[in-house]
Amino acid sequence: MESISRKTFIQSSGLLLAGEILVKKAGAFASGATQPTETGSKPVKKWMLKNVRLETGFVYEDGEVIATETGLFRVEIEGGKIKAVLPNDPKADATDAKGQLMLPAFRDMHIHLDKTYYGGPWKARLAKNRSVKDMIAFEQKELPELLKTSTYRAEKIIELLQSKGTNFARSHVNIEPTSKLDSLKNLQKAIENKKDSFGAELVAFPQHGVFYSHSEQWMKEAAAMDIDFIGGLDPNAIDGSVEKQIDFIVQLALDHGKGIDIHLHEGGEPGLKTVEYLTQKVIENPALAGKTFLSHCFVLARLEKPKLEEVSEKLAHARVGVISTIPFGSTIMPIPTLYRHGVTVMTGNDSIVDHWNTFGSGSVLQKSNLMAQLYGQSTELDLSRCLKLATCGILPLDEKGKQQWPKAGDEASVVLVDASCSAEAVARISPVKALVHRGNLVYRN
């Protein structure tokens, strides 16, 4: 049996603007221009951006993409949607984007907003916590103190994410006997406080094991609440049985109409068995297809090529996605292989400055950059394709250079970056200048 401790894989591995502040900053964005006219729970009614840089096609030389063509446009926003993309008019009464590149807003698809040191005094992780079970014991002592400020600190992380161009996150939230449902309730308060500027979906996460910590009843109660996914953790290493934990999770998801997102750090036979058993369960229960994910899933990095190809094909067939940490020290996930087979691949910041991990920038654009470096994606075309990791698959241009985003009717969740094209944005991790969430300007640098 092969397992990996949290320490091993760790070692081997803005400010929100709303209300009055929004109006002031928007005014600075383009003095005298037409600005968003409504804030609050509803999207702004109507406003316009001018001098918006959009990608329009590729430039070819000897059959190779050598550059990306762009142009300046006006983008009309109404009711939280992009109403129209129009020819540019520098004299229009509109918010001036100043030639900055518009991209789809970024999405962090694996993060723990409910427990962090971020927003409080600096504190690094402790070396004494060597394994996942060490961390479970530590959390049982640490969580009561963290819960006192968890709503505030979750809001601070959300503001950090916004400053990096992210307007949506999937957050795992502890469900276990120490915090019971309090961690979930505190995070729900933070999300409610940020609902006009940030979107989220929640995973009920048995961080201390389902059966190891006797969390079954708490998980059942959480599943009946306003959450989106049922989580799990290393079924063999923590609960001693792949089948027992996954059967529990699958039934809970089916009973409550939820998705599934399981943390899987284990390698070797237990890790592979978990992947294959979960995949088979999804095939048997089509309601879970497209709603089931394996987070981390490090076992894939250790498979021989023929087995990896086989497993990747099965994941794609069952529509089970992988949410990958990038990078993780010497563990290099086979993301190009997963993409080639059509497996949905997403990423996130995971832990940001907490008792699990000292690091975390908050930027998923940085994850796209790291992916490009890890897999040698250095050409104009390859770099432009790497952007999809940050945007959950949305790209301005298709493989042939045809413009496919933005279009009338698309959600008006966009980011403006200081870059000439998406390839440059990925290569340079270009600074985020503004974030619009469902039609509302929520961050401006």
- Residue 183 is predicted with a pLDDT of 98
Q: Is residue 12 predicted with pLDDT exceeding 60? A: no
Q: Is residue 278 predicted with pLDDT exceeding 90? A: yes
- Residue 34 is predicted with a pLDDT of 44
pLDDT (mean) for 139-153: 95
Report the relative pairing of strands 46-61 and 64-78 from DSSP bridges: antiparallel
pLDDT (mean) for 121-134: 87
Q: Which of 162, 245, 232 is nearest to 200 (CA)?
A: 162
Q: Catalogue all structural domains in the chain, each as residue range(s) with its CATH number.
A: 47-99+395-444 (2.30.40.10), 106-362 (3.20.20.140)
Lowest mean pLDDT among 131-145, 157-171, 403-417: 131-145
**pLDDT tens digits, one per residue of 80-115:** 999 999 999 999 999 999 999 999 999 999 999 999
Q: Is residue 41 predicted with pLDDT exceeding 50? A: no
- The SS3 call for residue 421 is coil
User: Do 112 and 350 meet the contact criterion of CB atoms below 8 Å apart?
Assistant: yes
Q: Is residue 36 predicted with pLDDT exceeding 60? A: no
Q: Which of 293, 403, 423 is nearest to 348 (CA)?
A: 293
The CA-atom distances, in angstroms, between 67 and each of 58, 116, 146 are 6, 41, 49
pLDDT (mean) for 151-155: 98
Q: Is residue 319 predicted with pLDDT exceeding 50? A: yes
- Categorize the per-residue pLDDT at 119 as very low, low, confident or very high, splitting at 50, 70 and 90: very high
**pLDDT tens digits, one per residue of 57-68:** 999 999 999 999
User: Do 155 and 190 meet the contact criterion of CB atoms below 8 Å apart?
Assistant: yes
Q: Which residues of 80-104 are buried (b: 16+ CB within 10 A; e: fewer)?
A: bbbbbbeebeeebebbbbeebbbbb
Lowest mean pLDDT among 38-42, 261-265, 437-441: 38-42
What are the structure tokens assigned to 253, written together? Answer: 């998801």
**pLDDT tens digits, one per residue of 238-274:** 999 999 999 999 999 999 999 999 999 999 999 999 9
Report the relative pairing of strands 292-296 and 414-417 from DSSP bridges: unpaired
- Categorize the per-residue pLDDT at 44 as very low, low, confident or very high, splitting at 50, 70 and 90: low
Q: Report the alpha-carbon distance of residue 210 to residue 227 in Å, rounded.
A: 17
What are the structure tokens assigned to 409, written together? Answer: 């009717």
Q: Where are the alpha helices (DSSP H) in 234-347?
A: 235-239, 242-256, 268-284, 305-318, 335-340
Lowest mean pLDDT among 42-56, 263-277, 342-356: 42-56
Q: Report the alpha-carbon distance of residue 201 to residue 195 in Å, rounded.
A: 12
pLDDT (mean) for 114-141: 89
Q: Is residue 10 predicted with pLDDT exceeding 50? A: no
**pLDDT tens digits, one per residue of 68-78:** 999 999 999 99
Q: Report the alpha-carbon distance of residue 336 to residue 187 in Å, rounded.
A: 34
Q: Report the alpha-carbon distance of residue 293 to residue 286 in Å, rounded.
A: 14
- Tell which wins on pLDDT, 311 or 16: 311
Cis peptide bond N-terminal to 327, omega within 30 = yes
Q: Is residue 29 predicted with pLDDT exceeding 60? A: no
pLDDT (mean) for 158-165: 98
User: Do 403 and 55 meet the contact criterion of CB atoms below 8 Å apart?
Assistant: yes
Lowest mean pLDDT among 3-12, 82-91, 134-143: 3-12
- Categorize the per-residue pLDDT at 5 as very low, low, confident or very high, splitting at 50, 70 and 90: very low
User: Do 353 and 360 meet the contact criterion of CB atoms below 8 Å apart?
Assistant: yes
Q: Report the alpha-carbon distance of residue 145 to residue 149 in Å, rounded.
A: 8
Q: Which of 4, 35, 85 is nearest to 434 (CA)?
A: 35
User: Do 225 and 235 meet the contact criterion of CB atoms below 8 Å apart?
Assistant: no
Quote the DSSP letter at residue 431: P
- Residue 129 is predicted with a pLDDT of 84
- Categorize the per-residue pLDDT at 360 as very low, low, confident or very high, splitting at 50, 70 and 90: confident
**Mean pLDDT, the chain, integer:** 90
Strand partners, 437: 440
- Residue 6 is predicted with a pLDDT of 37
